[in-house]
Every structure is written in C-alpha cells, then in structure tokens.
Homo-oligomer: A and B are copies of this chain.
C-alpha cells in the first residue's frame, strides 16, 4: 500500500557519497588522518581536512545586527543583493542585454527554476554525458529527463559535433529545448569551455533560432566560477550573451556556496538574460511565482553579507585576496595531481579548473571499493571516478594518482580471483 501519489514513489536509497564519506571517517579513526586520502567531499578543505571558511566573509556576516538576519527577505530577494549578484557574477563582462535576477536557495534552486519554467512535462533536457547526478533528481521529480551528448571527442576536446547532433535532434522533436552547461570548472571533470567552444555552441543555437517557432533556452551552471582561471579571464564568455535572438533565452545559476564558503546558508540566484525587456520580465515573474510556491523567500543574512562585501571596495579587495589565496591553493593541488597522473600514465579527463578531477574507467564501483582498501576514498560515477582536489592536501594529491593507477591495473588479478 502507498499513501504518496504514484509520481512520489522513489527507491529508498541513501546518498552514496554519504556512505563512502562515513567509511573514510572510520578509516581516519583507525589509521590516523595522515594515512587516509578522503577525496569525497565537495567543499574546500584545508590540509588537515577541516572545512575552510573565509574570514573576510564571516566578519561581514557576524557584523550584521540580529534584525537584519532575522527578518524575511523580499520574495524576489533584496534589491541591493540582486544588484550585487549581477556585479559579482559578470564583473567587467556583463552582456549587452536586459538582465533580471531572482534569489534562490543555492544553485539547486536556480536549476529547478530553469527546468520547471522553461520545459514541459515529458521533455528531455540536454546536458553532457559527464554530469552532476542531481540533474537526474531535479528532472525526474517533475517528469522531465536528461538527454546527453558526448562532452569530449577523441582528442579530449569539447565535442561540438555531438552537442550539435543531439541538440538539433531535440529541437526537431520538442521545438522547446533547455540545455544545461556546467562551466567553467565543470563538476565532475574540471573542464571549462573555451571562448571558442562557446562561440560554436551559440552558433548552433542561433541557427536553430532562425525558425521563430523554436524556443531555445540555455542554463549556465557557474557554481565553481570563483575558483576558475586567473583573475576574471573565465568570465569573458558572458559577453557572448549580448544581442542574441529573442528566442534564445539565457539563464545563469549563481551560487554563494563555494565562492563565499557559505554552503549551509542556501543562497544563490538565477539570472535571466535576453535581448527582450519583456522576456526578462516574464522570467522574473515566473521565478517569483515558483519561489513563492516552493520556499517562499531566501536567506536574508546571506544576502546582506554579499551586499556588504560587494558594495565596499575595501572589503571587496580583502575578500578577493582571501579567495585568490584559496584559489591558488586549489590550483597547486590540481597541478600536483595532474602532474603525478602523467608520471604514472593515469588517464584523466581534460582538467582545467575547479574542485574535481575525473578518471574514466569501467565498473567504477568496483574500483572505488578497491581504493578503499588502500585508504583512498573517491566517488564512483557512472563512467569513472571523481577525485575532489578541493578536499585533499597538495602532498596527498601528488600521492593519489599512483595508488589509483595501481588499483585500476589490478583488474585482471581480481577478476581471476572472482
């Protein structure tokens, strides 16, 4: 017997990452943290395995009066916060277009808004074959599903051919197509689309937009943008969203989780970009309605914190310096991992930026289990293993590739035993 409606019956499974993280914690207790590599956590950790929280951020947060944290925020988000979001997201690369932002609980809320409001029940949403698993949860919850294109071609470059083929197939079938592109610093591969990749993606979309009946929408998930590239170079692509055809609607999912180390606050925004003022207004009211119907309004204290940082050049400078220090730390760790992988000839997907590196392999659960025996904890994906350089010291990042290579090479042996 069920009491929930049919669409609400789901497998009673617990989060796989949570389970592996639990085993990693046990291993630390048993063997000591020096001998355990726990690369399961999707947050920036210091070399001792403690969560990094930015001083410049928490100083501003703690300076807020109680009433500024306690009060309800407006349904769309506080107006000064929404301005700060736009400035913080685009910096000097704000597209030449009409732009509106609406507050959401983290990046997830912004993805939900895009999928709910820009697709119909039964629709497929396009993303790459390496993707963040909750895209499945978000779409299947509301009777949508994920269709994938191959992220990389044989040369490990962005596979524009596969994107084009699958995108055009969907346009033909649905007329209305939402594509989700997680870049820069893609989770889980660490790939960042180049400005030229972007040009090609938008050319495909513009070609489809020539049929005025088509409705092309694009959601760019930039959750990790603050840890990508040098300075703001990985924001340049935003400029390409200028002067697009009216039936190409672009949304950017902005999150305070990583860039401000405010994961647990649940604060972010969805930004709508269009050549049409009317269409960004339509976007705003659709998102306000969805927000009211899902979570009412956003975290007031988080909004006020970001506004305080963004609107004071001195504080902004302090924050940027602290963030860049951690960005450099992350880049050093990733460089160590990539270099060590080359030395032992471990195949990686083309890492450019961000929290994660991916190792393609068959039967990822088997190798994840095998690595646990070596006290290396990684997350098994559908097509490989995810190693979180954000959570592991540079020293351990240098050690890990050899251990992973070793585990992957044990293939025959263990199959013989089985």
A10, A138, A293 — most chain B CB neighbours (10 Å): A293
A71 touches B (CB below 8 Å): yes
Among A359-374, those with CB < 8 Å from B are none
Binding site for B on A (CB under 8 A): 1-13, 15, 18, 43, 50-51, 53, 58, 62, 66-67, 69-75, 105-106, 108-109, 112, 116-120, 134, 137-138, 140-142, 176, 215, 217, 246-247, 249, 257, 261-266, 274, 276, 278-279, 281-283, 285-286, 289-290, 292-301
Apart from A3-B283, A71-B263, A141-B290: 20 A-B pairs, beta carbons within 8 A:
A1-B276, A1-B279, A2-B279, A3-B247, A4-B283, A7-B120, A8-B286, A9-B282, A10-B289, A15-B75, A50-B67, A62-B62, A105-B296, A108-B294, A137-B289, A264-B300, A266-B296, A266-B297, A266-B299, A295-B295
Q: Known contacts being A58-B66, A116-B8, A290-B8, is A279 close to B108, with CB within 8 Å?
A: no
Contact of A4 among B5, B118, B276 (CB under 8 A): B118
Contact (Cβ within 8 A) B289 A141: yes
Give the 5 A-B residue pairs with the shortest CB-CB distance, closest first: A264-B300, A141-B293, A108-B296, A8-B117, A105-B295
A-B contact pairs, 30 of them (CB 8 A): A1-B247, A4-B283, A4-B286, A6-B120, A8-B116, A9-B282, A12-B282, A13-B285, A15-B75, A43-B72, A53-B66, A58-B66, A70-B263, A70-B264, A71-B263, A73-B264, A105-B295, A106-B295, A108-B292, A109-B294, A112-B293, A134-B292, A134-B296, A137-B289, A137-B292, A264-B299, A266-B266, A266-B298, A295-B295, A299-B299
Q: How far is the CB of A369 from chain B (nearest CB, A)?
A: 23
Q: Which residues of B contact A299 (CB under 8 A)?
A: 264-266, 299
- Chain B residues positioned under 8 Å from A300 (CB to CB): 263-265
Distance A247 CA – B71 CA, assembled complex (angstroms): 39
**A62 to chain B: closest residue by CB:** B62
B contact residues around A297 at 8 Å (CB): 264, 266
Q: Which residue in B134, B215, B278, B295 is a CB contact (below 8 Å) of A108? A: B295
